Amino acid sequence: MFKKILVANRGEIACRVFRTAKAMGIGTVAVYSDADRDALHVTMADEAVHIGPSASAESYLVIDKIIAACKQTGADAVHPGYGFLSENKAFCQALDAEGIAFIGPGVKAIESMGDKITSKLIAEKAGVNTIPGYTDVVRDAEQAVEISNGIGYPVMLKASAGGGGKGMRVAWNEEECRDGFERATNEARSSFGDDRVFIEKFIQEPRHIEIQVMADSHGNTIYLGERECSIQRRHQKVIEEAPSPFLTPEVRKAMGEQAVALAQAVDYKSAGTVEFIADANMNFYFLEMNTRLQVEHPVTELVTGQDLVELMIRVAAGEKLPLTQDDVKLTGWAMETRVYAEDPFRNFMPSIGRLVRYSPPTGEGVRVDTGVYEGGEVSMFYDPMIAKLITYGKDREEATSRMVDALDAYYIRGVSHNISFLNALMMHPRFAAGQLTTNFIAEEYPDGFSPDLVPQDDPALCVVAAAVINKKFRDRCALISGQLPSYEYSPSNDWIVMTNNGESNYSVSVNTSVEPVVAVLEGKEYTVATDWKLGEPLFKAAINGKQVCIQVDRDGWMIKMFHRGAEKEVVVATPQTAELSRHMLIKEPPDLSRFLLSPMPGLLVKLKVKEGDTVKAGEELAVIEAMKMENSLRALADGVVKVVSAEVGDSLRVDQPIVEFE
């Protein structure tokens, strides 16, 4: 067994590998860039080596620096995690030349499966179902159009060396095909240093289902069930679960056997994932094979009881797999949501900054894989993932219920995050019914996400909670001389709860002289049993016997409440104040329609207009690169450029003006 493992990665996956290595009694080594000097993975490891500047191209992607760190610390094995160098054959070869073990598959598997064109040809030869398409490299946009016309729209343009949703574009017509080819090529070049693109038929109403395989160097290959990853946005997985609510045992077996056949065709060893796309009739087709540990591996671990990282380490050390295919049993259900630093109310633009408050959920069946901590920073240089939240239950309903509760209790402040969106997805009736496709988010939220779109099982819960919170706050103030001269403490008070600028008004009476507290809302009585104290961010209570957890932020007399994916701004006032507030003027926001503003922090890589130019609606004005993704900004209306306020190469902040129109 290895004596010391270096993890050539960062963030949550580095922390994840360190946990297993430490449990096995193996020494650990972290590597870090300037931006990660104070990162959690650095503090978790036994040793840490600085490998360069913040940009990954100058640190985590530099093979020589990783090799040097191994030599410096005496690490005899490297786990690559996912991303970065995890599927880089040159890295594998360099480690082998130095006598350092690579905890992953061999060069043959990495090289053949890492290229989507080659992998598709191998899959066909191995008897694996494949999608119709053009498997050679596409020369240019015109050839892309010609090929797509032959296949028939819609088509998917995909980077041959791609992964993680980068270098992928769906085209529904010739214009989108030309534009998609350019975007896919640029992203592929930027992310992978390889701009080759191929084209295949885009399957409509698809479900994304993947098979986890594990193989050793003694000829043993098994599959450990499937994961359904159909809930995606821009080809990035958002929610994963195991098993799939869609597959029959027969189809699961057929998929698993094809995945094993493909792994054996490339002499695979270690953990790997064969991804399939399935249509509504359970016809399934090979997408790609990821020759590494997947982000979503925890759901497989929970339903199989296997530690995939430990199996990878043991296989790399030359051991045989400790189980056979007959030993693999799927028990219970697991869900995973990816918590990102992004703003779902601004088209999911990435967010960066310091985690001013960070409190992950705990409880039975709850697991949090993270690489951050309170006071830490989400950097613009890397993927904006904060954590993976995983829940386990005896069945899908229990796993989902635990996920919803855990998301309610996940408290993050300092950066924008997608927790409201994740909870809205979990609460969606279509998700509960298991009616999933990769188009789910686009179909259910065609105009973007808004918390107003989230149906509440009982809207009264937040109203009652707000009234109780307000009474506790005012009662305390009344006990301090001079704090609230117009308010007299009374065991029971009547309030008007106003939500979202008077959108709805509710009459509530709150009596705190009894235990539990009693609130009467529109004639209905609610008992509120809680030990919540002023200043706590989570209002946990049993309201009429139902356990609730509501996130609470106070801003003056306003209470911002977050529950089950919905967000409410609430003001609790006396009846007299509520009546007077109806006559208050509402301040109109400034008119920013004449400005092109940066929707995210990022790098301005293209600026296609200059002062005096006339632009048409839909015309591309600029391109911003953020988190290795290109984002095209287009004109909403015809206009004339008055002022250009930024230059190519500028690092932009959120809402920074780029162009002003006349």
Please report which confidence band the pLDDT of residue 459 belongs to, taking 50, 70 and 90 as the band edges.
confident
Domains contained in the chain, CATH given = 4-103 (3.40.50.20), 132-201 (3.30.1490.20), 346-428 (no CATH), 460-581 (3.30.700.30), 595-661 (2.40.50.100)
What value does the mean pLDDT take over residues 637-658? 92
**In the annotation, is 288 catalytic?**
yes
Q: How far apart are CA 45 and CA 40, in angstroms?
A: 9
**Taking 80 as the threshold, does the pLDDT of residue 629 lie above it?**
no
pLDDT bracket for residue 114 (50, 70, 90): confident
Q: What is the pLDDT of residue 164?
A: 61
Question: If phi over 0 gives left and psi between -120 and 50 gives alpha, with beta otherwise, what is residue 204?
Answer: beta
pLDDT for 40 equals: 97
What average pLDDT does range 385-414 have in this prediction?
Answer: 97
Residue 483: per-residue pLDDT: 64
Which residues fall within 8 angstroms of residue 25, CB to CB, at 6 or more apart?
none
Q: What Å distances lie between residue 202 and 275, 294, 302, 483, 544, CA to CA?
A: 15, 23, 32, 65, 50
Question: Which whole number is the average pLDDT over 4-20?
Answer: 98
Number of C-alpha atoms within 13 angstroms, CB side, residue 239?
32
Residue 212 has pLDDT above 70, yes or no: yes
Q: Which entry of 288, 301, 336, 630 is annotated as an active-site residue?
A: 288
Q: Where are the beta strands (DSSP E) in 299-440?
A: 333-340, 342-343, 349-350, 353-354, 357-359, 366-370, 377-378, 385-393, 411-413
Report pLDDT for 98. Answer: 97
Which parts of 522-584 are beta strand (E)?
524-529, 538-543, 546-555, 558-563, 566-573
**pLDDT score for 77:** 98
Q: Which of 309-318, 489-498, 531-540 has the highest mean pLDDT?
A: 309-318
User: Is residue 608 scored above 90 in pLDDT?
Assistant: yes
List, for residues 72-100, the tens digit of each pLDDT value. Answer: 999 999 999 999 999 999 999 999 999 99
Tokens read off for 314: 């043991």
Give pLDDT, residue 481. 65
Please report, rounded to a whole number, the percentage of residues in the chain having pLDDT higher than 70. Answer: 97
Virtual torsion, Cα 486, 491, 494, 497, nearest 10 deg: 90
Model pLDDT for residues 256-268, shown as the tens digit of each residue? 999 999 999 999 9
Task: Encode 617-628: b = buried (16+ Cβ within 10 Å), e = exposed.
Answer: eeeebbbbbbbb
Q: List, for residues 481-497, the tens digit of each pLDDT value.
A: 666 666 667 788 888 88
pLDDT at 233 over 80: yes
Q: Rounded to an integer, what distance in angstroms lies between the CA atom of residue 420 and that of residue 410? A: 10
pLDDT > 80? residue 531 = yes
Query: In which residue are the tokens 């529109």 written?
Result: 522
Quick: pLDDT tens for 572-603.
988 888 888 888 887 888 888 899 999 888 88
Averaged confidence pLDDT in the chain: 92
* Structure confidence by residue, pLDDT tens digits, 49-78: 999 999 899 999 999 999 999 999 999 999
Contacts of 476 (CB under 8 A, 6+ apart): 534
As a whole number of angstroms, the distance between CA 365 and CA 398 comes to 9
Which residues lie below 8 Å from residue 562, measured CB to CB, with a gap of 6+? Answer: 408, 419, 420, 550, 551
- pLDDT, average across residues 420-429: 94
Give pLDDT, residue 482.
63
Q: Could you report the per-residue pLDDT of 495-509, keeping only the tens digit for each? A: 888 887 666 789 999
Output the pLDDT for position 647: 93
Greatest mean pLDDT among 111-115, 127-131, 226-230 lies in 226-230
Between CA 125 and CA 105 the distance in angstroms is 21
Confidence of residue 627 (pLDDT cuts 50, 70, 90): low
Confidence bin at 204 (pLDDT 50/70/90):
confident
Using the predicted structure, report yes or no on whether residue 217 has a pLDDT greater than 90. Answer: yes
Tokens representing 183?
């975007």
